[in-house]
């Protein structure tokens, strides 16, 4: 079973090197992994020969993350002022609020990506039938 394009993977090579990133291309001959932190790429020339193990990691559901953040926000909001100083509590509330807003945006983004309007069809790209296709020789 091969990892799907876009999935987050952690790869262990035969020489004990580990890399982590998103799959751009995967085959037994050659694979391309995009770094998690930046847009650099790893190109694995002989995937089947060089790799010992692949861990495919699943990202948590944004709705579950939002629920956890909301719970933490209410807990922090309800804390008495004598336990935590007021300025630290306010800072934490502001940070949690920013994270909640980011999760809301992520949820809406995913819903927009998945949404298909009824009665519409996907775009199909191709060569029009009246053009000749010449193969390079």
Give the model's confidence band at 97: pLDDT under 50 very low, under 70 low, under 90 confident, else very high: very high
In whole angstroms, give the CA distance from residue 89 to residue 83.
Answer: 10
pLDDT at position 62 is 78
DSSP designation for 123: -
SS3 44: strand
What is the domain class of 8-57 according to CATH? mainly beta
Q: What is the DSSP letter of 136?
A: P
pTM beyond 0.85, yes or no: no
pLDDT in tens, 105-132: 988 988 887 777 777 776 777 766 776 6
Of 89, 93, 88, nearest in space to 73 by CA: 93
* Tokens, residue 68: 């956890």
């Amino acid at each position: 079973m091969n990892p799907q394009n876009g999935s987050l993977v952690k790869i262990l090579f035969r020489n004990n090197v580990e890399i982590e990133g998103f799959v751009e291309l995967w085959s037994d001959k050659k694979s391309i992994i995009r770094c998690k932190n930046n847009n650099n790429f790893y190109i694995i020339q002989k995937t089947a020969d060089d790799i010992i193990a692949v861990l495919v990691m699943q990202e948590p559901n944004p709705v579950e993350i939002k629920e956890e953040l909301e719970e933490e926000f209410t807990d922090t909001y309800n804390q008495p002022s004598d336990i935590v100083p007021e300025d630290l509590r306010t800072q934490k509330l502001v940070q949690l609020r920013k994270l909640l807003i980011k999760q809301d945006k992520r949820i809406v983004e995913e819903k927009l990506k998945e949404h298909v309007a009824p009665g519409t069809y996907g775009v199909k790209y191709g060569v029009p039938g009246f053009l000749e296709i010449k193969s390079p020789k």
